[in-house]
Structure 1
Amino acid sequence: MRKLPKDTTLLIVENDDVFREQLSKVMASRGFDPIPAGTVAEAAAAIEARPPAFAIIDLHLGEGSGLEVIDMLKKQRKSARALVLTGYGNTPTAVAAVKLGAVDYLAKPADGDEIVDALLAAEGVQPPAPENPISPEEAKRVHIERFLERTDGNITKTAQLLNMHRRTLQRILKREPELGKDPG
C-alpha cells in the first residue's frame, strides 16, 4: 500500500448515487476522507467550504461538466490532484481535463487501486497501465447495463438518464443482444 499524505480529503463528484456511494466506501477503505457530491453546485459548495487535496470527478454531471469542477478546484487549491473518471472517454475531453489540471483521465469502471495509483503518482509520472484494460465498447456496455438495472429495464427512462434518444439506445441494444437480458 502506498503512503498517503497528511491531507487525504477527497472530493468525489458523481451523479450516479449508487456509484458515488460505492466509490466513497472504496476510497475510505484505502485511507482517504471522502466528500461526496452529486452535482456541480454541491461540488462548488464543498470546494468553497474546504478545498480538498484530491478529487475524483465524473465528466458528465447532468446539469454541468466535470471540467467546471476541475477549474473551480484548481482556483481554490492549485496543488489539488484531480482525476477525471468517465464512461464517455474521448480525446478532446481528456486533453481539456489535463489542460485544466487533471492528473489523469480513467474510463469507468476503474478499480480502486488504479484510482489510488493515479491520484498518488509522482508529478509528471504516469501510473502503470491497468493489467486488464477494458475496451471502450466494454465500458459503454457496463455503463448502459448499470442504468438499465436502475430503471428495471425501462428503455425510455434509461435513454433519458443517459441523455440519448430512445431509438439510439434501442439500436445499441439491438446490436448487443446480451445487454438488458437477465443472465439467469
Structure 2
Amino acid sequence: MQLRTFIVEDNATIRENLIGTLEELAGVKALGWAENERDAKSWLVANPIAWDLTIVDLFLKQGSGLGVLEQIRVRSPSQRVVVLSNYATSDMRKRCTELGADAVFDKSNEIDALVEYCMAMSEAAGPAP
C-alpha cells in the first residue's frame, strides 16, 4: 500500500530529496507539502482523512512544527505523525511526543530509520484494495 503522506518542510532541497527517497524506497505517495505552519494547518484541516502519514519539521519559514502537531493531535488511530528535524534533542523529542508525535527522527543521522518506519507502516497496512 502507498502511504498517503503530507510533508511540512520549508527547505525545498531537503523536501524534494525526502519525497524522492520515500517514494522510491518506502511506498510513500506525497499528497502535498507546506513550508509554514499556517499552510500546513490549513491543508490538514481541509483534508482530515486524506492522509496516512504527516512528516513535520520543527523550524519553518513562519510558525513552528509544534503548532502543526497541536493541530492534528486528535486524529484517526491509523494516522501517524512523525517529526524530522535537526533539533531532535531529548527535550524536544519529549515535547513532540507530548504533542502527539508517534516518532521523532534527526535529519542528520536518522533518515534510514525514517525510511524503515515508513516501510513498516506501509507493510502493516497491507496491499491496496
Aligned twin of 1:36:
33
More strand by share: 2
For 1:131, the equivalent position in structure 2 comes to none
Deviations 1:58-115 (A, max 9, x none): 011132111111121233x24221111111222222111111111111111333x421
TM-score by length of 2: 0.76
Aligned match of 2:98: 99
What TM-score results when the alignment is normalised by the length of structure 1? Answer: 0.56
**What secondary structure sits across from 1:74 in the alignment?**
coil
What is residue 114 of structure 1 aligned with on the other side?
113
Change (3 A) 1:85 1:42: same
CA contact under 8 A between 2:56 and 2:82: conserved in structure 1?
A: yes
Partner of 1:46: 43
Paired-residue identity, %: 28
Aligned amino acid, residue 17 of structure 2: Q
- On the 8 A contact 2:55/2:83 being kept in 1, the answer is yes
Partner of 1:25: 20
Segment drifting more, 12-21 vs 66-75: 66-75
| Distance change >3 Å, CA 121–CA 70, structure 1 → 2 | farther
Letter in 2 for 1:27: L
Secondary structure of the structure 1 residue equivalent to 2:27: coil
* Number of aligned residue pairs: 115
SS in structure 1 opposite 2:17? helix
**Residue 121 of structure 1: how far off its partner (Å):** 5.5
Partner of 1:82: 81
Q: SS at the partner of 1:102?
A: coil
Alpha-carbon separation, structure 1, partners of 2:11 and 2:45: 22
**Shift of residue 37 of structure 1?**
1.3
Specify the code of the residue in structure 1 equivalent to 2:5. L
Identify the residue that residue 64 of structure 2 maps to in structure 1: 65
- The 8 Å contact of residues 83 and 103 in structure 1, kept in 2 or not, is answered as yes
Structure 1 alignment gaps of length 5 or more:
123-184
Q: Structure 1: how far apart are the matches of 2:92 and 2:85?
A: 10
Indicate the residue corresponding to 1:182 in structure 2: none
